[in-house]
Structure formats: C-alpha cells, structure tokens
Amino acid sequence: MNDQTSQNRVLIIGAGGVGNVVAKKCAMNPDVFGHITLASRTVSKCDDIAADIQQNWNRTIDTAAVDADDVPQLAKLIEQVKPDLVINVALPYQDLHIMDACLATGVDYMDTANYEPPDVAHFEYSHQWAYHDRFKNAGLTALLGCGFDPGVTNIFTAYANKHLFDRMDTVDIVDCNGGDHGKAFATNFNPEINIREITQRGRYFENGDWQSTDPLTVHQTFDFPNVGPKEMYLLYHEEMESLVKHFPSVKRMRFWMTFGQEYLTHLRVLQNVGMTRIDPVNYNGQEIVPLQFLKAVLPDPGSLGENYTGLTCIGTVIEGEKDGQFARQFIYNNCDHAECWREVQAQAVSYTTGVPTMIGAMMMLQKKWHGSNMPDKGGVFNVEQFDPDPFMEQLNIHGLPWEVTAWPESIA
C-alpha cells in the first residue's frame, strides 16, 4: 500500500539513473507525493528501486511494466493508476507517445529532455510546442525540460531576469563535471542520447540568428567555483531555443560543457571507427545500430555512483544592465557526487536532473506552476515561463543550494 499523507498521485516512467532519483526524492516527500507508481520497460529495475525505498524510507511504491511507445498500453496503465501527473524520465524518443497517452486520458505531463526522432540526431522543441493547442483545449498542462540543463539553468535565467537585471544582453550556460568515476570512458547519462548530443555541430545564438561551428572546436578555460579551471567546449543545447524565445532582449546565448582530454580522445576514436553511427549496419545477418551496441558495452551511468568523487558546477553567467549600470552575475550550484551516493545511491548528474524533476512535479501538483494560472488556461510550457521564486526556494531545501555572485570576468 502506498502512503496516503497526500492525495496526489504520480506515475513516473523510466527507471534509469534519473528515474531512481526522482522516485526516491518523491518518496522522501510524502506530504506532496501521496501515491507513487514507477513504471518502465524492464520492471525488475523498478522493483529494485522500490525495494530500496522500502528499506531506506519505509515507504511502499507501486511498480509496473510498460512500453511507453505503445500508446494504448500506456493509456491503459494511466487509467489504472489514475495519476494527477505523468513524469517522463524515459528517453526523448518516448516524449510524443507519452504526451499522446496523457491527452487520451486527460492527465498533466512533464519531462526533462525534448523530443528527438530515433533516426535523426536532431532535437528541437517544434515537435512538442505543436501540442500546445491540444493541451490547452483539454485544459491540461505539459511542462517541458525540468531537469538541470534544460531546467534549472532556464530557471536561473528567469530569476536573473526578475531580480538581477533590468535588461539581459548575453547568457552563457556553463556545465562542468569536475568528478572522477575511475573509468577510462563512460557517459553520465544515457550513452546513446549523450553521444548523439555532443557529436553534433556546435550552435550558438547571436544578433537574432543561429551560428554554427564544427563539433567541439571552440573552447576556452573557465575557473569554476570550488572545482578550479577546466577546459569547456561550445555545444548546442536545447534550452537555448526556448530561452531566446522567452527572453528576446538577449543578443548572444551560448552553452559550454567541460570534457577531459581522455574523454575526447576516446570519443574521437569511437567516431573514427564508426561506433557512434546511428544508421543500422548488417552484422551476421542481423541489423544493429553501432551506437546502440556501444551503449550495451559501456558502463551503465546509474552504476558509476559508488566510487565517484568530486563536484559538478553548473550555472548561468549573465551580462546586462541594472539601474543604469553594467552588471555581470553568475548563478550556480555545486553538487558533490559522493554525497549524492550517500543520499540516494546516484551520481551527481542523475541527482542534479532528478531533484529538479521532483520539484517541478511539486510545483505542478501544488498549482504554483500550472497552465490553469496562465492566460490560455492550459497548454505546453517551458519552465522559464513560470515564477522562478518558489522553485528556487525548494532547490535550497532539497539538496541543490545555489549561489549568486558578481562575476569578475567576461567569457570571451
């Protein structure tokens, strides 16, 4: 039996690195999450997480097997569970199918990553924004991109816009994993999604247009608080698309991520030998996708946590004007891999994604963030469209405290 401290019911889909954190953080907050069901393709992964929750937090959650790409099957599960909210932490390929099932059953939706077609490594919000009228007409809310980046980085930008600037001119999102997991090569979230993302051409926004660069060619050193100087590389990242739409004063927006030389060398070799290809190849009479095969032999990101040490530092450096003066502010969070492991048996990349997902779900269930409060009374929203303050407060309470500091140097 689930605990009934609150009447709210959630269905979490996906029991990977992020799903583990979301389920545990929801279970730790019974006053908001009264009934939790965790469903995924492989139910044994849900059962393992449920057993952990029972043992560590003395709560029972329900589990189920579901193929979220099968819309009727998922709709049937939603009808059985009767959730107030479906939390999608499966893969970006499932986004549209899960949104379809939510529309079919009349339930609110949220996710952490925008839709990506399996056969083209290209992600953009157009596919999901196209659902706005259908959610609006049904009086339902879909909240997109509520992890850390996208997610908290958007909310940091909304907070800066509300409190720190009269006008924002440039935004640089900087993402550093200063941790060490002791493996020669591993990715910190789903390897297939991660490698598709970083091997694309770099893109950034300048003076109303997108500029592109060869993959991982533009880089510089940045001195990350509590981590130290690291080389960071310009990448395209999905939150820029919604942020330039919602904050039109911004003239330049870029996204940077740190990589070590060892990681880049492995990646280059894997690319050169064709292991990052996403088109099927024939192997012994069977079609296999090299990148999916590579995922099968790389370490499971969820398993990296036990020996992970060091900190992440992710934040937003913003330049603009306040009270007629030039201002530059850095809003960021540091997260400690070892502390995440102690708390929820996860590494910091899963943790920094899963905690904001839980908080976003809390915002929706408490109707602090909800389409019913917006002019259209429903629809599809990015996180920066809502008031950042209640979310920022909860970050400090649930394990991701943030800092704001006047930053001394411009990013070249």
Distance of closest approach, residue 153 Cβ to ligand NDP, in angstroms: 8
User: Which one, 18 or 243, has the nearer CB to ligand NDP?
Assistant: 18
User: Which one, 301 or 371, has the nearer CB to ligand NDP?
Assistant: 301
Residue 220 token pair: 């510089």
3-state secondary structure of 22: helix
β pairing state of 141-144 and 379-382: parallel
Which residues make up the interface to ligand NDP (CB under 6 A)? Answer: 13-19, 40-42, 45, 66-69, 89-92, 94, 112-113, 147-151, 189-190, 193, 301-302, 353
Q: How many CB atoms lie within 10 A of CB 42?
A: 11
Distance of closest approach, residue 26 Cβ to ligand NDP, in angstroms: 15
CB distance 354 to 342 below 8 Å: no
CB distance 348 to 335 below 8 Å: yes
Q: What are phi and psi of 2, to 5 degrees?
A: -75, 160
User: Which one, 306 or 409, has the nearer CB to ligand NDP?
Assistant: 306
Distance of closest approach, residue 68 Cβ to ligand NDP, in angstroms: 3
Q: Which residue number is nearest to ligand NDP in terms of Cβ?
A: 16
Distance of closest approach, residue 70 Cβ to ligand NDP, in angstroms: 8
Distance of closest approach, residue 308 Cβ to ligand NDP, in angstroms: 14
Q: Compute the half-sphere exposure of residue 156: CA atoms within 13 Å on the CB side of its CA.
A: 32
Distance of closest approach, residue 300 Cβ to ligand NDP, in angstroms: 7
379 Rama sector, left if φ>0, alpha if ψ -120 to 50, beta otherwise: left
Distance of closest approach, residue 365 Cβ to ligand NDP, in angstroms: 20
CA gap 180, 309 in Å, rounded:
5
Distance of closest approach, residue 357 Cβ to ligand NDP, in angstroms: 8
CB distance 295 to 190 below 8 Å: yes
Distance of closest approach, residue 2 Cβ to ligand NDP, in angstroms: 21
Query: At a CB cut-off of 8 Å and minimum separation 6, what does 78 contact?
Result: 11, 86, 101, 102, 105, 107
User: Which one, 110 or 216, has the nearer CB to ligand NDP?
Assistant: 110
User: Which one, 51 or 269, has the nearer CB to ligand NDP?
Assistant: 51
CA gap 387, 162 in Å, rounded:
9
Distance of closest approach, residue 119 Cβ to ligand NDP, in angstroms: 16
| DSSP H or E stretch at residue 86 | strand 85-88
Q: If you search the block for the tokens 């839709």, which residue do you land on? A: 115
| Nearest CA-CA partner of 125 in 143, 144, 108, 107 | 144
CA gap 332, 12 in Å, rounded:
28
User: Which one, 123 or 407, has the nearer CB to ligand NDP?
Assistant: 123
CA gap 105, 82 in Å, rounded:
9
User: What does DSSP assign to residue 359?
Assistant: H
User: Which one, 29 or 112, has the nearer CB to ligand NDP?
Assistant: 112
User: Which one, 122 or 167, has the nearer CB to ligand NDP?
Assistant: 122
Q: How many CB atoms lie within 10 A of CB 13?
A: 27
User: Which one, 190 or 333, has the nearer CB to ligand NDP?
Assistant: 190
CB distance 128 to 142 below 8 Å: yes
User: Which one, 190 or 334, has the nearer CB to ligand NDP?
Assistant: 190
Q: How many CB atoms lie within 10 A of CB 44?
A: 11
Distance of closest approach, residue 335 Cβ to ligand NDP, in angstroms: 12
CA gap 283, 300 in Å, rounded:
24
User: Which one, 192 or 336, has the nearer CB to ligand NDP?
Assistant: 192
